[in-house]
């Protein structure tokens, strides 16, 4: 047993020491910092709950939370239904189906910087291909990422395009874990294709659906790259989300305490989603 | 098959192919735009294939960005971090899966809890810590925090738990040490998990943006994503040149993806948590 402990600590230490140094300590520091006012240069000042008070009375926090919700409300249904359609269509093999799968997945492995720049150019108000195309049809295209109304839809379009292949992959593996006998038996009993889809396939797909929703929620509250690169939170703050506000407050406005308080709120949101997930998982997920 | 079913399947295939075009066309458009001069790039109606193809944009992007340097920085940080992350995860995973020792449950719980803390939440203290350590604007400071992966430990523990007990017991009876068992039994038997973790770790470091943005300021220390992001102009952007840059950056990604497609999609599935 004693020897085991020595071996175990030798095996665990190389990952545990960095874990303490670069995750646990910073997390503790973030909690402390959220009770302080500090521009990162002059002496630190403890202000108790001041940051949180400001957070809940000031509109910037609610605004960025609202933008995150708008993003999710646009993104999640689109990415889910497109991913589901692709998964249902590509579930059976046919000539070219593996090529299509690969094509749908390619944006997933491409970095956000490339995807953001590419979509900014595609949706460029002047000379972008989408607006040029609309122009040929006689339609005056919108300003996309330069317009307060269209900036969020632009980010959503790029995000759906990038993530759809991932959702497809998860749902495909969910579809493949459904025993084909179920669908065959239903077909033998005279069930229509639609009935099979809605009464058998989709209910049995709930674990995969649940996973997609939870993972999307967790990721979407942390959205930063595409916002920073495509709109910088603008125009007019129309796309400013939580993480972008954290970075702005800490490094542009010298308000690291306020930024840490927002980080805490982000953490609480993620924690809540995880806890809800653990509770719901037992109830509404239909394990075959 | 009934006729309506056949028609339905043509419709499905048609839509799937249309979807495929929507996924691939932006990449095609990227390359096409990168080969156009400014006038043609902004022309309405747009030309699909450049009429007067030019490599000027590639020349410009090479003078604006030290691409070899960016590639070198990205590769060295990604490779080093991945190797360390995978190795330390496998070691800890082995200890949690195969050894009995005091405090094991508690320690593992610590790992599980930290899995819920993303970089976004600790970005400010991490910056302060690196400043205290005088590691700001350095590749070492960039790599260190990314070495940590509670998820990797959790994932490798799962894989190591799956090794049959008998092999290990036989080896122990033969007098092999745990270190020896780890090296010559546990590692070879968990190669699928190791390679999945390697792919995910490499991709997440290679594509990392937020932490490099905060940690690195000097152009000569930037990674590829940071360098590319800097191609955007303050007021106006030379889009054909930006597309030349992204084309050069995406080529290796596509080559690696085509070569390891099965492994890559598989690792997203088995360890899909990283989204």
B33 touches chain A (CB under 8 A): yes
A17 touches chain B (CB under 8 A): no
pLDDT digits (tens, 9 = 90+) for B32-63: 999 998 888 888 788 888 888 889 999 999 99
A165 touches chain B (CB under 8 A): yes
B225 with A113: Cβ contact below 8 A? yes
B255 touches chain A (CB under 8 A): no
Residues from chain B that touch A109, judged by Cβ atoms under 8 A, are: 203, 253, 257, 264
B214 with A251: Cβ contact below 8 A? yes
Between positions 46 and 105 of B, the ones with CB within 8 A of A are 46, 87-89, 91-92, 94-96, 99-102, 104
pLDDT digits (tens, 9 = 90+) for A278-287: 888 776 555 5
Encode chain B (275 residues) as per-residue pLDDT tens digits.
444 456 678 888 899 999 999 999 999 999 999 999 888 888 878 888 888 888 999 999 999 899 999 999 999 999 999 999 999 999 999 999 988 888 899 999 999 889 888 888 899 999 999 999 999 999 999 999 999 889 999 999 989 988 887 888 888 888 888 888 888 888 999 998 999 999 999 999 999 999 999 999 999 999 999 999 999 877 788 899 999 999 999 999 999 998 888 888 888 887 654 33
Domain ranges of chain B: 3-54, 59-274
Residues 6+ away with beta carbon under 8 Å from A87? A167, A168, A171, A172, A174, A175
Give the number of other Cβ atoms within 10 Å of residue A249's Cβ: 22
Domains of chain A: 58-284 (1.10.3720.10)
CB of B231 within 8 A of CB of B64? yes
pLDDT digits (tens, 9 = 90+) for A15-36: 999 999 999 999 999 999 999 8
The helix-helix angle for A2-19 and B104-114 (nearest 10°) equals: 20
Nearest-CB residue to B228 (from A104, A117, A161): A117
Residues from chain A that touch B111, judged by Cβ atoms under 8 A, are: 19
- Where b means 16+ CB within 10 Å and e means fewer, A41-58 reads eeeeeebeebbbebbeee
Q: What are the Cα distances from residue A36, in Å, to A192, A262, B127, B178?
A: 64, 13, 16, 48
ipTM of the complex model: 0.89
A127 touches chain B (CB under 8 A): yes
Nearest CA in chain A to B30: A118
Residues from chain B that touch A11, judged by Cβ atoms under 8 A, are: 91-92, 94-95, 99, 178, 182
A247 with B225: Cβ contact below 8 A? no
Identify the CATH number of the domain defined by range B59-274: 1.10.3720.10
pLDDT digits (tens, 9 = 90+) for A199-248: 888 988 988 898 899 889 999 999 999 999 999 887 888 899 999 999 99
User: Quick one: which of B36, B47, B23, B26 has its CA closest to B244?
Assistant: B36
CB-count burial class (<10 Å; 0-12, 13-18, 19+) for B140: exposed
Nearest CA in chain A to B243: A118
């Amino acid at each position: 047993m004693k020897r085991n402990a020595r071996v175990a600590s030798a095996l665990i230490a190389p990952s545990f020491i960095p874990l303490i140094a670069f995750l646990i300590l910073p997390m503790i520091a973030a909690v402390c910092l959220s009770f302080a006012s500090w521009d990162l240069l002059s002496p630190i000042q403890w202000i108790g709950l001041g940051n949180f008070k400001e957070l809940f009375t000031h509109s910037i926090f609610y605004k960025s939370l609202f933008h995150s919700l708008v993003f999710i409300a646009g993104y999640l249904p689109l990415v889910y239904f497109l991913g589901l359609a692709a998964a249902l269509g590509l579930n059976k093999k046919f000539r070219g189906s593996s090529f299509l799968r690969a094509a749908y997945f390619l944006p997933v492995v491409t970095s956000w910087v490339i995807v953001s720049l590419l979509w900014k150019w595609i949706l460029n108000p002047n000379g972008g291909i989408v607006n040029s195309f609309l122009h040929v049809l006689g339609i005056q295209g919108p300003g996309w990422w330069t317009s307060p109304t269209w900036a969020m839809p632009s980010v959503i379009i790029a995000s759906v395009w990038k993530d759809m292949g991932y959702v497809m992959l998860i749902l495909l593996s969910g579809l493949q874990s459904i025993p084909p006998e179920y669908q065959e038996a239903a077909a033998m009993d005279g069930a229509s294709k639609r009935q099979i889809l809605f009464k058998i396939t989709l209910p049995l797909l709930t674990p995969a659906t649940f996973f997609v929703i939870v993972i999307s929620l967790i990721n979407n509250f942390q959205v930063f790259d595409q916002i920073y690169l495509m709109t910088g939170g603008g125009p007019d703050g129309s796309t400013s989300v939580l993480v972008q506000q954290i970075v702005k407050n800490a490094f542009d406005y010298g308000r690291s305490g306020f930024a840490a308080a927002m980080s805490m709120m982000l953490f609480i949101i993620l924690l809540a989603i995880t806890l809800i997930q653990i509770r719901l998982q037992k109830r509404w997920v239909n394990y075959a | 098959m009934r006729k309506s079913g056949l028609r339905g399947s043509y419709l499905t295939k048609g839509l799937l192919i249309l979807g495929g075009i929507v996924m691939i066309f932006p990449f095609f458009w990227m390359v096409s735009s990168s080969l156009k001069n400014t006038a043609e790039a902004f022309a309405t109606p747009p030309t699909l294939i450049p009429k007067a193809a030019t490599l000027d944009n590639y020349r410009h992007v090479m003078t604006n960005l030290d691409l070899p340097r960016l590639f070198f920085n990205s590769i060295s940080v990604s490779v080093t971090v991945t190797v360390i992350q995978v190795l330390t995860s496998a070691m800890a995973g082995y200890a949690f899966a195969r050894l009995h020792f005091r405090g094991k449950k508690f320690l593992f719980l610590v790992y599980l809890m930290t899995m819920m803390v993303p970089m976004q939440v600790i970005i400010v203290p991490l910056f302060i810590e690196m400043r205290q350590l005088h590691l700001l604007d350095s590749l070492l400071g960039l790599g260190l925090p990314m070495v940590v992966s509670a998820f990797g430990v959790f994932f490798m523990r799962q894989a190591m738990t799956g090794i049959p007990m008998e092999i290990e017991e036989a080896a122990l009876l033969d007098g092999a040490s745990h270190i020896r068992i780890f090296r010559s039994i546990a590692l070879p038997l968990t190669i699928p998990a190791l390679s999945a973790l390697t792919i995910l770790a490499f991709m997440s470091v290679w594509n990392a943006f937020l932490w490099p943005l905060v940690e690195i300021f000097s152009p000569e220390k930037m990674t590829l994503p940071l360098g590319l992001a800097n191609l955007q102009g303050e007021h106006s952007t030379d889009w054909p040149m930006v597309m030349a840059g992204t084309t050069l950056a995406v080529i290796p990604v596509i080559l690696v993806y085509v070569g390891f497609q099965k492994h890559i999609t598989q690792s997203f599935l088995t360890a899909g948590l990283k989204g």
